[in-house]
C-alpha cells in the first residue's frame, strides 16, 4: 500500500532502524526503508529538517593517542594501620598503583589540554582516595609524602611534586606514556632509542642545591632525573617538573576542530551546488559538543522533493571536506517535514 499524504506531514529517520536490510547502518551514514512508500501527488512538495540528534564526536582521542596507548602510571604507598597481638599500634607499607590507557579516558576527552589533564589528575586523586582505609597514612611521621603530588599554576601550567615526596626508598613513581609525551613536546626523539627533553617540560629544583636522583636508574645503573623505558617517560620525584603549553599542544587537528560546521545530506531533496560538487545537501549545522548534540533550527530551510515516490531514504553526516563524521557510540535521529506549497 502506498501512502498518499495530505499537504503536510513528518517522517523520523533513525540510524538504528532497518538494520536487518541495511546491516552497515552507522550514525554517520544510514538507510531507512519506510513502512509504506510515499507518493507525492501534485507539484510544490518541499522537505526540510526540523530536528536532528547526533552522538558525540571524540574531539581529541583519535587524533592524539590510541585506546591501547598508555597515558599515565602512578605508584604510591600507604602506611596501613594494624595492631599486634598485644594491641599495640603498628604500621605496614601498602603499595598502590594506577595505570590509565587511552581507552580509560575515552569518555573524558576534552577540547583543551587543561581540561583533559585536570580530568587525568582527578582520576588519580579519586583512585587514591577510594583505595585508602580508615586510620591509614599517606606520609611519614616527619611529613615526607608517600605519593606524588600535582598542582596547577595561575598560568595554567601543571606542576609535579611541589612538596617533599619520598624518593629514597623509591616509593612514589610517575610515568607518562611515551606517545603522549612525544606529542605533548615533553620529549623529542633524536634518533632511534635516543631522546632529549622537549621545550614543554621544564625541570625545577626544590632548592639551590641540585640533588642526586635515587629513584630513576639510567644507563649502567647510574642515577638520572628521567629516562624513556618500556613505552614510558619515567620522571624522578627528586625535583619539580613543570608541564607548559598544554592548550597549545594538546588540541584536535586543525582540519577537525571540536566546534565546526557539519553537512547533513539526504536523498529525498533535489541536488544543489556546494563548492565544486553537486550534492544532496539538506542542511548545514554548527556542531558544538560541549553545548548540545540536538538541533532544532529556528528557521527551517526547505528544498524541493526529488522523486514522486520515496521508499528508501539515505542520510549522511559529513565534514565540510566531504569525509563522513567519525562519531562515538550512539545513534542519529533525523526528523523531516514535508509540505506542499501551492502556487
Comparing CA positions, the residue from 212, 181, 213 lying closest to residue 195 is 181
Give the pLDDT score at 256: 45
pLDDT tens, position by position, 122-152: 999 999 888 887 888 888 888 888 899 999 9
Q: With cut-offs at 50, 70 and 90, classify the pLDDT of residue 254.
A: very low
Where do we find the cell 642545591? Answer: 209
Q: With cut-offs at 50, 70 and 90, classify the pLDDT of residue 50.
A: very high
Dist CA 29 CA 322 (whole Å): 12
pLDDT tens, position by position, 263-296: 999 999 998 777 667 788 999 988 776 555 888 9
CATH fold of the domain at 8-57+258-340: Jelly Rolls (2.60.120)
Report which of residues 68 and 268 the model is more confident about: 268
Give the pLDDT score at 253: 47
Q: Where in the chain is the domain with CATH 2.60.120.1100?
A: 8-57+258-340
Give the pLDDT score at 286: 85
What number is the average pLDDT over the span 97-107? 85
- The model's pTM is 0.57
Give the pLDDT score at 11: 94
Q: What is the mean pLDDT of the chain?
A: 85
Long-range contacts of 244-247 (CB under 8 A, 24+ apart): 244/157, 244/200, 244/201, 244/202, 245/113, 245/185, 245/199, 245/200, 246/112, 246/113, 246/114, 246/117, 246/156, 246/157, 246/158, 246/184, 247/112, 247/113, 247/114, 247/156
Model confidence at 255: pLDDT above 70:
no
Model confidence at 211: pLDDT above 70:
yes
Amino acid at each position: 500500500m502506498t501512502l498518499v499524504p495530505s499537504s503536510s506531514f513528518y517522517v523520523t529517520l533513525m540510524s538504528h532502524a532497518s538494520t536487518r536490510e541495511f546491516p552497515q547502518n552507522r550514525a554517520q551514514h544510514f538507510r531507512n526503508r519506510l513502512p509504506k512508500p510515499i507518493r507525492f501527488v501534485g507539484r510544490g512538495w518541499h522537505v526540510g529538517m526540523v530536528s536532528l540528534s547526533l552522538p558525540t564526536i571524540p574531539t581529541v582521542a583519535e587524533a592524539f593517542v590510541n585506546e591501547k596507548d598508555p597515558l599515565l602510571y602512578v605508584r604510591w604507598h600507604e602506611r596501613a594501620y594494624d595492631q599486634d597481638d598485644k594491641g599495640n599500634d603498628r604500621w605496614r607499607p601498602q603499595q598502590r598503583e594506577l595505570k590509565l590507557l587511552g581507552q580509560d579516558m575515552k569518555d573524558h576527552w576534552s577540547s583543551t589540554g587543561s581540561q583533559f589533564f585536570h580530568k587525568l589528575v582527578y582520576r588519580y586523586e579519586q583512585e587514591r582516595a577510594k583505595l585508602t582505609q580508615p586510620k591509614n597514612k599517606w606520609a611519614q611521621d616527619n611529613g615526607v609524602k608517600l605519593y606524588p603530588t600535582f598542582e596547577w599554576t595561575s598560568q595554567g601550567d601543571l606542576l609535579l611534586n611541589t612538596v617533599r615526596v619520598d624518593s629514597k626508598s623509591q616509593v612514589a613513581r610517575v610515568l607518562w606514556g611515551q606517545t603522549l609525551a612525544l606529542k605533548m613536546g615533553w620529549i623529542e626523539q633524536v634518533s632511534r632509542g635516543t631522546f632529549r627533553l622537549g621545550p614543554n617540560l621544564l625541570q625545577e629544583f626544590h632548592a639551590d642545591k641540585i640533588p642526586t636522583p635515587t629513584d630513576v636508574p639510567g644507563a649502567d645503573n647510574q642515577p638520572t632525573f628521567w629516562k624513556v623505558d618500556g613505552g614510558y617517560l619515567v620522571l624522578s620525584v627528586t625535583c619539580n617538573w613543570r608541564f607548559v603549553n598544554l592548550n597549545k599542544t594538546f588540541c584536535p587537528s586543525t582540519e577537525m576542530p571540536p566546534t565546526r560546521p557539519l553537512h547533513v545530506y539526504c536523498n529525498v531533496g533535489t541536488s544543489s551546488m556546494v563548492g565544486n560538487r553537486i550534492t544532496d545537501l539538506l542542511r548545514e549545522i554548527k556542531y558544538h559538543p560541549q553545548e548540545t548534540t540536538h538541533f532544532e533550527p529556528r528557521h527551517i530551510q526547505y528544498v524541493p522533493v526529488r522523486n514522486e515516490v520515496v521508499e528508501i531514504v539515505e542520510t549522511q553526516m559529513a565534514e565540510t571536506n566531504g569525509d563522513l563524521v567519525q562519531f562515538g557510540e550512539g545513534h542519529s535521529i533525523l526528523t523531516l517535514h514535508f509540505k506542499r506549497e501551492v502556487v
